[in-house]
């Protein structure tokens, strides 16, 4: 009784139906994880759906799905499914055929994909030499011959299955031991902790993090300048180095420079940060080719002064469109008062230290104008399994699709030759190959 239940359980664990159900469940979790922000981004649910919805989502674990117990449980069950399926497939995989079963027995001959009976003037030894010339491995026993090519191709499925199981191990290890957190760094100030979104608490690692410098590289900006002369209003858009002449005047205004963020002291801009917050544009004004004035303008304007008939209030800094090309933050890792690693990081270019990756995710100024950056710290000990599993999966797919295991079975029966063939993959190609061998053997 117990044995029968164990047999049923074994068959269930290795069934395709169970695999389909588990893949469907993992797909549903992935879809939910795509539409519901995970980990630190889940805080945005409060503004969008309210505090009650956010608290309920956290309670159900849908804001950290990939570290949840049911995700790890489903992944573990999928691993068992693949393991049992692999064992079953290995146990059922055909071995070398016993000669007496080639024709009379059901074991293999009835399952061959292509079979034929032809008249050939060749002996079995001559047929064997032909197959050997085509790089087949040949075995002859009495009046029965087996020829096979790409014998390792039958293990393509094994690489695929083991690769998938290794990927799942990576998922389980990452789900159980992985960690994702974040922290804010202010320039010149070291931080000794970060908040773990996975463990829901502050983590104090054996090192400190410090922001040493921050800079932003922009695409060529588009600066909008308004000009007002003799009651006429004109708007000009250009970049640094561009110039324009207001209609009806002999003035030439050139955009000389730009500061993305400044503070003003005595009508002069002082650079504060590389972030576009309070920009200032430097204009140079010429009249009939002679320099009239150069001035800095902010979107709020500056105090004007008269130079001949030209007033600064005739020019307005209307707008600035500056798209960041690259943000760079210089981060130092400190242990026991010494900098053990210093690296410039950018979006998608992290720093790695002691199994953790440090990603730049955001930056801004606080209320007093100090620069800060937001770092995401992630640790995934299952990543090595992901790389190994991906490699095994790639090797398995290449073997299975490009090196199919082909086998030919032949038996001399008086004046006729019985021939059959099978392959692990690529039945259409085998059909062509089988027809070619029939012609070659008949011609012999």
Q: What is the pLDDT of residues 107-142, one digit of tens each?
A: 567 778 898 888 888 888 888 999 999 999 998 887
Other Cβ atoms less than 10 A from the Cβ of 176: the count is 12
Whether residue 48 has pLDDT greater than 80: no
Give CA–CA dist 295/276, Å, rounded: 20
pLDDT at 65 over 70: yes
Sequence-ordered list of residues with C-beta below 8 angstroms from that of 207, at least 6 positions apart, any chain = 192, 333, 334, 335, 340, 353, 354
The stretch 46-50 carries a mean pLDDT of 62
- In the block, which residue shows the tokens 């090309």? 325
* Percent residues over pLDDT 70 in the chain: 86
Binning pLDDT at 50, 70 and 90, where does residue 47 land? low
The pLDDT of residue 98 is 42
**Residue 203 to residue 196: CA distance in whole angstroms:** 6
Among 347, 335, 418, 388, which Cα is nearest to 146's?
418
Q: What is the pTM of this model?
A: 0.67
Task: Work out the average pLDDT over 366-381.
Answer: 86
* Unique residue bearing structure tokens 């060749």: 122
In the prediction, which pLDDT does 245 show?
A: 86
- 257/272 Cα distance (integer angstroms): 15
327-342 pLDDT, tens digit each: 999 999 999 989 999 9
Give yes or no for residue 351 having a pLDDT over 70.
Answer: yes
What pLDDT sits at residue 214?
93
Q: Provide, rounded to the nearest whole percent, the portion of the chain with pLDDT above 90.
A: 22
Q: Model confidence over 271-280: pLDDT tens digits?
A: 988 888 888 8
| Distance from C-alpha of 255 to C-alpha of 201, rounded to nearest angstrom | 51
**The CATH classification of domain 99-150+404-443, taken from the options 2.60.40.10, 3.30.310.80, 1.20.140.10, 3.30.565.10:** 3.30.310.80
Please report, for the chain, the start and end positions of each structural domain, with discontinuous segments joined by +.
2-92, 99-150+404-443, 179-217+325-379, 220-322
Bridge partners (DSSP) of residue 419 are 116, 410
- Please give the Cα distance from 180 to 206 (Å, whole number): 17
CATH code for residues 179-217+325-379: 2.60.98.10
CB 240 within 8 A of CB 221: yes
Instruction: Output the six-digit token pair for 290.
Output: 């002679």
Q: Residue 442: its pLDDT value, please?
A: 81
Question: What token pair was written down for 110?
Answer: 């009835």
Q: Average of pLDDT values for 65-85?
A: 86
Mean pLDDT for 217-226 is 87
Q: CA–CA separation, 203 vs 182, rounded Å? A: 10
For residue 270, CA distances in Å to 240, 265, 282, 411 come to 19, 7, 12, 94
Do domains 99-150+404-443 and 179-217+325-379 share one topology? The answer is: no
Is pLDDT above 80 for 433?
yes
Going by pLDDT thresholds of 50, 70 and 90, the confidence category of residue 101 is very low
Q: What is the mean pLDDT of residues 402-416?
A: 84
Task: Report whether pLDDT(18) > 80.
Answer: yes
Please check whether residue 208 is in contact with residue 191, taking contact to mean a CB–CB distance below 8 angstroms: yes
96 pLDDT band, cuts 50/70/90, is very low
How far, in Å, CA of 293 to CA of 430, rounded? 85
Q: Quick check: 93 pLDDT over 50?
A: yes
pLDDT of residue 306: 38
Q: Please determine, for residue 81, whether its predicted confidence score (pLDDT) is greater than 60.
A: yes
Q: Residue 68: pLDDT band by 50, 70, 90 thresholds?
A: confident
Whether 390 has a pLDDT exceeding 60, the answer reads yes
CA 442 distance to own-chain centroid: 55
Instruction: Give the CA count within 13 Å in the CB-facing half-sphere of 424.
Output: 24
Rounded to a whole number, what is the distance in angstroms from the first to the last CA of the chain?
60
Category of 50 on φ-ψ map: left (φ > 0), alpha (ψ -120 to 50) or beta: left
β-strands 416-423, 351-353 pairing: unpaired
Residues 6+ apart with CB under 8 A from 138: 128, 131, 132, 145, 146, 147
pLDDT for the residue 443: 66
pLDDT score recorded for residue 385? 93
Reported as a pLDDT band with limits 50, 70 and 90, residue 70 is: confident
Give the closest residue to 178 by CA, choosing from 158, 199, 160. Answer: 199
Q: 290-303: per-residue pLDDT in tens?
A: 888 888 888 765 43
Mean of the per-residue pLDDT values of the chain: 82
More reliable by pLDDT, 357 or 309: 357
The answer to whether the CB of 127 falls within 8 A of the CB of 424 is no
pLDDT of 87 strictly over 90? no
Better pLDDT: 306 or 194: 194
pLDDT value, residue 308: 43
3-class secondary-structure state, position 239: coil
Q: Residues 138, 145: contact at Cβ < 8 Å?
A: yes
Question: What span, in angstroms and rounded, lies between the C-alpha atoms of 367 and 371?
Answer: 10
């Amino acid at each position: 009784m117990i044995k029968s239940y164990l047999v049923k359980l074994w068959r269930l664990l290795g069934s395709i139906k169970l695999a389909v159900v588990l893949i469907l469940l993992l797909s549903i979790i992935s879809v939910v994880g795509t539409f519901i922000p995970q980990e630190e981004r889940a805080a945005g649910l409060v503004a969008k759906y309210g505090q009650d919805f956010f608290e309920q989502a956290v309670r159900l674990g849908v804001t950290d799905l990939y570290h949840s117990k049911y995700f790890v449980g489903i992944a573990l069950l999928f691993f068992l499914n693949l393991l049992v399926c692999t064992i079953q497939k290995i146990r059922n995989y055909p071995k070398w055929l016993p000669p007496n079963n080639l024709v009379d027995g059901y074991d293999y001959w009835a399952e061959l994909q292509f079979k034929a009976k032809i008249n050939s003037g060749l002996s079995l030894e001559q047929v064997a030499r032909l197959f050997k010339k085509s790089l087949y491995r040949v075995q002859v026993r009495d009046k029965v011959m087996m020829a096979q090519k790409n014998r390792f191709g039958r293990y393509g499925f094994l690489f695929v299955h083991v690769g998938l199981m290794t990927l799942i191990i990576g998922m389980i290890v990452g789900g159980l031991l992985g960690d994702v957190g974040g922290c804010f760094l202010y320039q010149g100030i070291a931080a000794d902790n970060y908040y773990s979104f996975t463990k829901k608490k502050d983590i104090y690692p054996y090192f400190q993090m410090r922001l040493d410098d921050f800079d932003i590289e922009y695409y060529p900006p588009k600066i909008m300048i308004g000009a007002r002369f003799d009651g006429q209003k004109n708007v000009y858009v250009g970049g640094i180095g561009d110039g324009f002449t207001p209609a009806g005047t002999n003035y030439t205004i050139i955009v000389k420079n730009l500061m993305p963020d400044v503070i003003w002291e005595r009508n002069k801009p002082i650079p504060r940060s590389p972030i576009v917050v309070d920009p200032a544009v430097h204009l140079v004004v010429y009249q009939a080719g002679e320099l009239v004035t150069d001035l800095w303008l902010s979107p709020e304007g500056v105090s004007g002064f008269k130079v001949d008939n030209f007033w600064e209030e005739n020019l307005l800094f209307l707008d600035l469109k500056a798209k960041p090309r690259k943000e760079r933050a210089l981060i130092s890792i400190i242990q026991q008062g010494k900098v053990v690693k210093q690296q410039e990081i950018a979006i998608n270019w992290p720093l790695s230290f002691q199994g953790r990756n440090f990603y730049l995710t955001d930056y801004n100024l606080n209320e007093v104008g100090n620069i800060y950056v937001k770092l995401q710290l992630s640790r995934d000990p299952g990543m090595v399994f992901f790389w190994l599993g991906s490699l095994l999966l790639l090797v398995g797919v290449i073997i299975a699709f490009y090196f199919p295991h082909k086998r030919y079975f032949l038996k001399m029966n008086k004046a006729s030759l019985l021939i059959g063939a099978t392959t692990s993959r690529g039945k259409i190609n085998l059909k062509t190959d089988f027809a070619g061998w029939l012609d070659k053997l008949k011609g012999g």
